[in-house]
Amino acid sequence: MKQVNIVLSIIILILVTSCKQEIKEDIKIQDNASYSTQKKSDVFYHYSIWWAFVNKVFEGDITAAELKSKGDMALGSYNFLDGELIMLDGTLYQAKENGEVSIPNDSIKVAYANAAFFDKDGGFSIDKVDNYDGLRAAINSKLPSKNFFYAFKIKGDFKNMKCGGLHKQEPPFEKGLDVLIPSRPIFERENFKGTMVGFYCPEFIGNINVAGFHFHFVSEDKTFAGHVMEFEAENLTVEFDEMNEYQFVLPETEAYENVGFDKEFQYEKK
Protein backbone atom coordinates (compact mmCIF):
# COMPACT_ATOMS: atom_id res chain seq x y z
CA MET A 1 0.00 0.00 0.00
CA LYS A 2 1.27 3.46 -0.82
CA GLN A 3 2.50 5.49 2.08
CA VAL A 4 0.37 8.39 1.16
CA ASN A 5 -1.57 9.58 4.09
CA ILE A 6 -4.40 11.70 2.97
CA VAL A 7 -6.71 12.59 5.73
CA LEU A 8 -9.70 14.55 4.71
CA SER A 9 -11.95 15.36 7.55
CA ILE A 10 -14.34 17.99 6.39
CA ILE A 11 -16.81 19.68 8.59
CA ILE A 12 -19.51 21.51 6.79
CA LEU A 13 -21.34 24.05 8.86
CA ILE A 14 -24.75 24.41 7.46
CA LEU A 15 -27.09 27.25 8.13
CA VAL A 16 -25.89 28.45 11.48
CA THR A 17 -29.01 30.44 12.03
CA SER A 18 -31.18 28.75 14.60
CA CYS A 19 -34.28 27.11 13.30
CA LYS A 20 -35.60 26.24 16.70
CA GLN A 21 -38.12 29.07 16.75
CA GLU A 22 -39.71 27.72 13.59
CA ILE A 23 -40.47 24.26 14.93
CA LYS A 24 -44.15 23.49 14.90
CA GLU A 25 -45.95 23.63 18.20
CA ASP A 26 -47.03 20.02 18.12
CA ILE A 27 -43.42 18.90 18.23
CA LYS A 28 -41.92 18.77 21.66
CA ILE A 29 -38.38 20.09 21.77
CA GLN A 30 -35.75 20.37 24.41
CA ASP A 31 -35.37 23.76 25.97
CA ASN A 32 -32.77 26.09 24.52
CA ALA A 33 -30.38 25.71 27.43
CA SER A 34 -30.09 21.99 27.09
CA TYR A 35 -29.86 22.32 23.30
CA SER A 36 -26.86 24.65 23.54
CA THR A 37 -25.03 22.50 26.10
CA GLN A 38 -25.41 19.50 23.83
CA LYS A 39 -24.31 21.32 20.70
CA LYS A 40 -21.17 19.20 20.48
CA SER A 41 -23.38 16.23 19.69
CA ASP A 42 -25.12 17.81 16.72
CA VAL A 43 -22.65 16.31 14.26
CA PHE A 44 -23.60 13.84 11.58
CA TYR A 45 -20.58 11.51 11.31
CA HIS A 46 -20.09 9.80 7.98
CA TYR A 47 -17.36 7.25 7.21
CA SER A 48 -16.54 6.88 3.49
CA ILE A 49 -18.99 8.31 0.99
CA TRP A 50 -21.97 6.68 -0.64
CA TRP A 51 -20.52 7.08 -4.15
CA ALA A 52 -17.34 5.20 -3.14
CA PHE A 53 -19.42 2.46 -1.46
CA VAL A 54 -21.56 2.11 -4.58
CA ASN A 55 -18.33 1.76 -6.60
CA LYS A 56 -16.92 -1.21 -4.68
CA VAL A 57 -14.93 0.44 -1.90
CA PHE A 58 -15.93 -2.41 0.42
CA GLU A 59 -12.92 -2.23 2.76
CA GLY A 60 -12.58 0.46 5.38
CA ASP A 61 -9.87 1.21 7.90
CA ILE A 62 -11.88 2.04 11.00
CA THR A 63 -12.96 -0.48 13.62
CA ALA A 64 -16.25 -0.95 15.42
CA ALA A 65 -14.58 0.52 18.51
CA GLU A 66 -13.69 3.70 16.60
CA LEU A 67 -17.20 3.95 15.20
CA LYS A 68 -18.59 3.75 18.73
CA SER A 69 -16.53 6.84 19.59
CA LYS A 70 -18.43 8.74 16.87
CA GLY A 71 -21.96 7.94 17.92
CA ASP A 72 -24.36 5.76 19.87
CA MET A 73 -26.55 5.04 16.88
CA ALA A 74 -25.47 4.13 13.37
CA LEU A 75 -26.17 2.29 10.15
CA GLY A 76 -23.81 0.98 7.51
CA SER A 77 -21.93 -2.13 6.50
CA TYR A 78 -18.91 -4.14 7.58
CA ASN A 79 -15.85 -4.87 5.44
CA PHE A 80 -16.44 -7.21 2.47
CA LEU A 81 -20.18 -6.45 2.91
CA ASP A 82 -20.19 -9.00 5.72
CA GLY A 83 -23.62 -7.97 6.89
CA GLU A 84 -25.66 -4.88 7.58
CA LEU A 85 -24.51 -2.66 10.44
CA ILE A 86 -26.97 -1.33 12.99
CA MET A 87 -26.08 0.50 16.20
CA LEU A 88 -28.80 1.23 18.73
CA ASP A 89 -28.14 2.84 22.13
CA GLY A 90 -24.41 2.16 21.86
CA THR A 91 -24.68 -1.53 20.95
CA LEU A 92 -23.57 -2.63 17.49
CA TYR A 93 -25.33 -5.42 15.66
CA GLN A 94 -24.32 -7.40 12.58
CA ALA A 95 -27.08 -8.87 10.42
CA LYS A 96 -25.37 -11.49 8.26
CA GLU A 97 -26.44 -12.70 4.84
CA ASN A 98 -28.06 -15.83 6.35
CA GLY A 99 -30.26 -13.64 8.56
CA GLU A 100 -28.30 -14.30 11.75
CA VAL A 101 -27.96 -11.28 14.06
CA SER A 102 -25.03 -10.98 16.45
CA ILE A 103 -22.97 -8.44 18.39
CA PRO A 104 -19.61 -8.25 16.61
CA ASN A 105 -16.19 -7.93 18.17
CA ASP A 106 -14.86 -4.37 18.61
CA SER A 107 -12.00 -5.10 16.18
CA ILE A 108 -14.28 -5.76 13.19
CA LYS A 109 -13.69 -3.25 10.39
CA VAL A 110 -16.36 -0.99 8.97
CA ALA A 111 -16.65 -0.21 5.24
CA TYR A 112 -19.32 2.46 5.41
CA ALA A 113 -21.28 4.15 8.19
CA ASN A 114 -23.50 7.02 9.24
CA ALA A 115 -23.46 7.71 12.97
CA ALA A 116 -24.52 10.25 15.58
CA PHE A 117 -24.85 10.75 19.29
CA PHE A 118 -28.61 10.88 19.62
CA ASP A 119 -29.91 13.92 21.46
CA LYS A 120 -33.65 14.07 21.10
CA ASP A 121 -34.80 17.40 19.71
CA GLY A 122 -38.40 16.39 19.08
CA GLY A 123 -40.85 13.58 18.72
CA PHE A 124 -44.35 12.53 17.79
CA SER A 125 -46.56 9.46 17.59
CA ILE A 126 -48.13 7.80 14.58
CA ASP A 127 -51.08 5.43 15.19
CA LYS A 128 -50.71 3.40 12.03
CA VAL A 129 -48.86 3.32 8.73
CA ASP A 130 -49.68 0.93 5.90
CA ASN A 131 -46.23 1.12 4.35
CA TYR A 132 -42.90 2.94 4.14
CA ASP A 133 -44.45 5.72 2.02
CA GLY A 134 -46.95 6.34 4.83
CA LEU A 135 -44.10 6.80 7.30
CA ARG A 136 -42.22 9.12 4.93
CA ALA A 137 -45.32 11.25 4.47
CA ALA A 138 -45.98 11.40 8.22
CA ILE A 139 -42.41 12.41 9.00
CA ASN A 140 -42.33 14.94 6.15
CA SER A 141 -45.43 16.61 7.58
CA LYS A 142 -43.81 16.92 11.03
CA LEU A 143 -40.16 17.73 10.41
CA PRO A 144 -39.20 21.31 11.22
CA SER A 145 -37.25 21.66 7.95
CA LYS A 146 -36.15 19.60 4.97
CA ASN A 147 -32.82 21.44 4.89
CA PHE A 148 -31.10 19.96 7.93
CA PHE A 149 -29.82 16.48 8.70
CA TYR A 150 -31.85 14.31 11.09
CA ALA A 151 -31.24 11.14 13.04
CA PHE A 152 -34.26 8.99 13.97
CA LYS A 153 -35.21 6.31 16.43
CA ILE A 154 -38.64 4.89 15.68
CA LYS A 155 -40.13 2.25 17.96
CA GLY A 156 -43.31 0.40 17.19
CA ASP A 157 -45.40 -2.71 16.70
CA PHE A 158 -44.66 -4.12 13.28
CA LYS A 159 -47.40 -6.17 11.62
CA ASN A 160 -44.88 -7.17 9.01
CA MET A 161 -41.48 -6.12 7.83
CA LYS A 162 -39.16 -6.84 4.94
CA CYS A 163 -35.46 -6.18 5.58
CA GLY A 164 -32.59 -6.40 3.11
CA GLY A 165 -29.18 -7.90 3.79
CA LEU A 166 -25.93 -8.08 1.85
CA HIS A 167 -24.11 -10.99 0.25
CA LYS A 168 -20.54 -11.12 1.53
CA GLN A 169 -18.02 -10.31 -1.21
CA GLU A 170 -14.47 -11.50 -1.75
CA PRO A 171 -11.80 -9.34 -3.39
CA PRO A 172 -11.26 -8.53 -6.19
CA PHE A 173 -14.76 -7.10 -6.01
CA GLU A 174 -16.62 -7.35 -9.27
CA LYS A 175 -20.11 -6.12 -8.52
CA GLY A 176 -20.99 -2.68 -7.23
CA LEU A 177 -24.04 -1.82 -5.14
CA ASP A 178 -25.96 -0.96 -8.30
CA VAL A 179 -25.92 -4.73 -8.99
CA LEU A 180 -25.78 -6.13 -5.45
CA ILE A 181 -28.67 -4.23 -3.91
CA PRO A 182 -31.32 -5.35 -6.42
CA SER A 183 -30.26 -8.99 -5.76
CA ARG A 184 -29.79 -8.68 -2.00
CA PRO A 185 -31.01 -11.35 0.46
CA ILE A 186 -34.41 -10.46 1.94
CA PHE A 187 -35.71 -11.35 5.41
CA GLU A 188 -39.34 -11.12 6.52
CA ARG A 189 -41.12 -11.29 9.86
CA GLU A 190 -44.62 -10.65 11.22
CA ASN A 191 -46.14 -9.31 14.44
CA PHE A 192 -43.22 -8.20 16.54
CA LYS A 193 -41.69 -5.12 18.14
CA GLY A 194 -38.53 -3.29 17.23
CA THR A 195 -36.73 -0.05 16.50
CA MET A 196 -35.85 1.62 13.25
CA VAL A 197 -32.56 3.55 13.36
CA GLY A 198 -31.85 5.95 10.56
CA PHE A 199 -31.11 9.27 9.01
CA TYR A 200 -32.49 11.91 6.69
CA CYS A 201 -30.24 13.85 4.30
CA PRO A 202 -31.42 16.80 2.21
CA GLU A 203 -31.40 16.35 -1.56
CA PHE A 204 -28.35 18.60 -1.88
CA ILE A 205 -26.20 15.79 -0.44
CA GLY A 206 -26.07 14.32 -3.98
CA ASN A 207 -23.89 11.21 -4.20
CA ILE A 208 -22.11 11.82 -0.91
CA ASN A 209 -24.86 10.01 1.00
CA VAL A 210 -28.33 8.55 0.56
CA ALA A 211 -30.67 11.45 -0.23
CA GLY A 212 -33.89 11.34 1.79
CA PHE A 213 -34.52 8.63 4.40
CA HIS A 214 -32.34 5.58 5.12
CA PHE A 215 -33.35 3.22 7.92
CA HIS A 216 -31.93 0.07 9.41
CA PHE A 217 -33.79 -2.01 11.96
CA VAL A 218 -33.33 -4.29 14.92
CA SER A 219 -36.11 -6.22 16.65
CA GLU A 220 -36.70 -5.97 20.38
CA ASP A 221 -35.49 -9.56 20.83
CA LYS A 222 -32.39 -8.75 18.72
CA THR A 223 -32.90 -11.70 16.37
CA PHE A 224 -34.11 -9.85 13.27
CA ALA A 225 -32.29 -6.92 11.67
CA GLY A 226 -31.25 -5.32 8.40
CA HIS A 227 -31.91 -2.54 5.93
CA VAL A 228 -35.57 -1.50 6.03
CA MET A 229 -37.32 -2.17 2.72
CA GLU A 230 -41.05 -2.26 3.52
CA PHE A 231 -43.36 -2.64 6.52
CA GLU A 232 -46.77 -2.12 8.04
CA ALA A 233 -46.79 -0.80 11.60
CA GLU A 234 -48.83 0.56 14.51
CA ASN A 235 -48.15 2.61 17.63
CA LEU A 236 -45.02 4.22 16.26
CA THR A 237 -43.04 6.56 18.49
CA VAL A 238 -40.81 8.76 16.39
CA GLU A 239 -37.91 10.60 18.01
CA PHE A 240 -35.59 12.83 16.03
CA ASP A 241 -32.33 14.69 16.47
CA GLU A 242 -31.72 17.66 14.21
CA MET A 243 -28.09 18.13 13.14
CA ASN A 244 -26.49 21.11 11.41
CA GLU A 245 -22.91 19.88 11.22
CA TYR A 246 -21.69 17.18 8.88
CA GLN A 247 -18.35 15.44 9.04
CA PHE A 248 -17.18 12.92 6.52
CA VAL A 249 -13.99 10.92 6.74
CA LEU A 250 -12.55 9.24 3.66
CA PRO A 251 -10.94 5.78 3.89
CA GLU A 252 -7.14 5.77 3.78
CA THR A 253 -7.09 2.69 1.62
CA GLU A 254 -5.73 1.77 -1.78
CA ALA A 255 -9.25 0.96 -2.95
CA TYR A 256 -10.37 4.46 -2.13
CA GLU A 257 -7.25 6.06 -3.67
CA ASN A 258 -8.02 4.38 -6.96
CA VAL A 259 -11.80 4.31 -7.10
CA GLY A 260 -13.45 5.54 -10.28
CA PHE A 261 -16.85 7.05 -9.65
CA ASP A 262 -18.48 5.58 -12.73
CA LYS A 263 -21.58 3.91 -11.25
CA GLU A 264 -24.45 5.68 -9.53
CA PHE A 265 -27.13 4.24 -7.28
CA GLN A 266 -29.75 5.83 -5.05
CA TYR A 267 -32.71 4.23 -3.31
CA GLU A 268 -36.08 5.38 -4.53
CA LYS A 269 -36.38 8.98 -3.44
CA LYS A 270 -39.51 10.30 -1.76
Residues of this chain that interact with Zn ion (CB under 5 A) are: 227
CB of 75 to Zn ion, least distance (A): 6
In the complex with Zn ion, the residue whose CB is nearer, 53 or 158, is 53
Shortest Cβ contact with Zn ion: which residue? Answer: 227
Provide the 3-class DSSP secondary structure of residue 112. strand
CA separation for the pair 215, 226 (Å, rounded)? 9
**81: number of CA atoms within 13 Å, CB side?**
27
* Residue placing its CB nearer to Zn ion in the complex, 109 or 227: 227
Q: Which is nearer to Zn ion, 27 or 229 (CB)?
A: 229
Q: How far apart are CA 143 and CA 29, in angstroms?
A: 12
d(CA 224, CA 250): 30
CA–CA separation, 150 vs 175, rounded Å? 31
CB of 164 to Zn ion, least distance (A): 7
* Nearest distance in Å: CB 34, Zn ion: 31
- In angstroms, give the least distance from the CB of 267 to Zn ion: 8
State how far the Cα of 184 lies from the Cα of 194, in Å rounded to an integer: 22
Looking at the Cβ atoms of 56 and 227, the one nearer to Zn ion is 227
Nearer to Zn ion, 83 or 144 (CB): 83
Q: How far is the CB of 216 from Zn ion (least distance, A)?
A: 5
Could you tell me how many residues make up the chain? Answer: 270
